[in-house]
Copies of this chain bind each other. A is one copy, B any other.
Amino acid sequence: VKLLEMKRNITIKDVAEKSGFSVATVSAVINGKNIVSPKTKTIIENVIEELNYHPNEVARSLKVSKTSSIAILVRAINNPFYLQVVLGLEEVAWKHKFEILFCSIGPNLEREEEYIDSLINRRVDGVVIATSTLDRQNSLQKLKVNKIPYVFVNRRPKKLQEHEWFVGLDNRKASKLIMEHLYELGVKKIAYLSGPREYSTFYQRYEGFLSVTEKLNITVTDEMIFESDFTKEEGFRITEQLLSIEDKPEAIFCSSDLLASGAYLAIKKRGLKIPDDILLVGIDNSEVTDLIDLTTIEPQAKEMGKIVGNLLIDLIEHGESSFDQETLLEPLLVVRKSTQLKK
C-alpha cells in the first residue's frame, strides 16, 4: 500500500489519464498540432489547466535535440554598450521562444574555454561572441566541431573564416562622418586619440580617420595622434599633454566617449571653453555624452543585438542566413554643443 507518496511531478501521462486520451494526443495539443479535434483539444486544455501542468521543456529538449537557447559571451567590462546589445538580442530571442544564457567571462582565459565546454554540454543552439575574438582559437574550434553556430558582435577577428559571421558598426564610416562634420566647420588641425588598435573597432576607426585626412586636406602629424587604453584617465592625461604644446589642435577627435570625457575634464581644468576654444567629439553616444553636450556617434547597439539574434536564429533553424557574412550598421552622427560654433 502506498498511502503516502512524495508529491510527484505532473507529467503528460497524468494529463493523458485524467483526460481519457493518450499521451500522443496530449502532446499534439501542447505543440499546437492541428491534427486533433476541437472538442478533444478543449477537454485536454481544461485538464492541463486543472492539473496546473507545465510541460517539461528539458525532456522535450532531450527528445528533439534542441534547447532553444543561445548564449552570449561578454567580458566582465561594465560597458553599457553590451547591455544594449543583450537587450536587443533578448527581444528577438523572445519572439522566437529562445532563451538567453548570459556568460561573463572575466579576464581569465582558462575560464573562457571552460565556459565553452559547459555551453556545449548544455547543448546551446548558438552563441554570440561579444568580446573581440575569443582568445583561444581552441574554443572556436570546439564550437565548430560541435556544429554550434556562432557570430561575432562589435569586435571581430582580422579574418572571418567560413561559417563565421560578424555584425558591428561601420567604424570607418563613423570616423568619416565625424571628419566631414569637422571639415564643414572649417577645422584643419585635429588631434586623434585612439583606443588600442589591436581591437578591430579602434583599428577601423583609425583607418577611417586616416583615409579622409588627405582628401579633406587635414593636417595630420605624428604628435597629434595618440594610442592608449580607452579610459577616462588616459583621455585626461593625453589631453593635458596636448594642451601644453604651443600649436594646439582646433579639435580633439576621441575614438571613444570615455576618452572624450577625460579630455573634457582636462580642457575644463585648463580653463578652456568648448566649443569656443576647442572642439571635442567622441564615439559611442554613452550616457555621459548628453550631459557634457558631446558630439558623438550613435552605434545602434540595440539594433546590433537584434540583427545578431535574427542572424543566429536563421543559422540555427536553417543552417544558413540571408545576412551577409559581415553586416555593418550605419553610424549616426549626433551633433551637440561641443561642435556648434557660433557664426
User: Which residues on A are within 8 Å of B, measured CB to CB?
Assistant: 9, 52, 54-59, 61-62, 65, 67, 69, 72, 76, 78, 80, 83-84, 86-87, 90-91, 94, 97, 99-104, 106, 111, 117-118, 120-123, 145-146, 232, 261, 264-265, 286-288, 290-292
**How far apart sit A52 and B292, CA to CA, in the bound complex (Å)?**
54
Determine how close the nearest CB of chain B comes to the CB of A68; give it in whole angstroms.
Answer: 9
- Which B residues are in CB contact (< 8 Å) with A120? 54
Say yes or no: B290 contacts A232, CB within 8 Å. Answer: yes
**How far apart sit A61 and B317, CA to CA, in the bound complex (Å)?**
24
Choice from B61, B83, B111, B265 contacting A83 with Cβ under 8 Å: B83
- Which B residues are in CB contact (< 8 Å) with A104? 86-87, 90-91
Say yes or no: B292 contacts A291, CB within 8 Å. Answer: yes
Closest to A76 in B: B87
Closest to A146 in B: B54
Nearest 9 pairs of A and B residues by beta carbon? A102-B102, A57-B121, A57-B122, A100-B102, A90-B104, A54-B120, A58-B62, A58-B61, A80-B80
A-B contact pairs, 24 of them (CB 8 A): A54-B117, A54-B121, A54-B146, A56-B62, A56-B123, A58-B67, A62-B62, A76-B87, A78-B83, A78-B87, A80-B287, A83-B83, A86-B104, A90-B102, A97-B118, A99-B101, A99-B103, A99-B122, A100-B103, A102-B102, A232-B290, A232-B291, A261-B291, A291-B291
**How far apart sit A52 and B120, CA to CA, in the bound complex (Å)?**
11
Sample of 20 further A-B pairs with CB below 8 A, known A52-B145, A80-B83? A9-B65, A54-B117, A54-B120, A54-B146, A56-B121, A56-B123, A58-B58, A58-B62, A78-B80, A78-B83, A99-B118, A99-B122, A100-B101, A101-B101, A232-B291, A286-B287, A287-B287, A287-B288, A288-B291, A291-B292
Determine how close the nearest CB of chain B comes to the CB of A284; give it in whole angstroms.
Answer: 12
Closest to A72 in B: B102
**How far apart sit A334 and B94, CA to CA, in the bound complex (Å)?**
39
Closest to A102 in B: B102
Determine how close the nearest CB of chain B comes to the CB of A151; give it in whole angstroms.
Answer: 17
- Which B residues are in CB contact (< 8 Å) with A57? 118, 121-123
Say yes or no: A78 contacts B86, CB within 8 Å. Answer: no
Q: Quick one: which of A265, A287, A292 has the most chain B CB within 10 A?
A: A287
Closest to A67 in B: B58
Determine how close the nearest CB of chain B comes to the CB of A94; give it in whole angstroms.
Answer: 8
- Which B residues are in CB contact (< 8 Å) with A121? 54-57
**How far apart sit A72 and B102, CA to CA, in the bound complex (Å)?**
10
Say yes or no: B83 contacts A123, CB within 8 Å. Answer: no
**How far apart sit A94 and B232, CA to CA, in the bound complex (Å)?**
30
- Which B residues are in CB contact (< 8 Å) with A232? 290-291
- Which B residues are in CB contact (< 8 Å) with A288? 287-288, 291
- Which B residues are in CB contact (< 8 Å) with A94? 111
Determine how close the nearest CB of chain B comes to the CB of A208; give it in whole angstroms.
Answer: 26
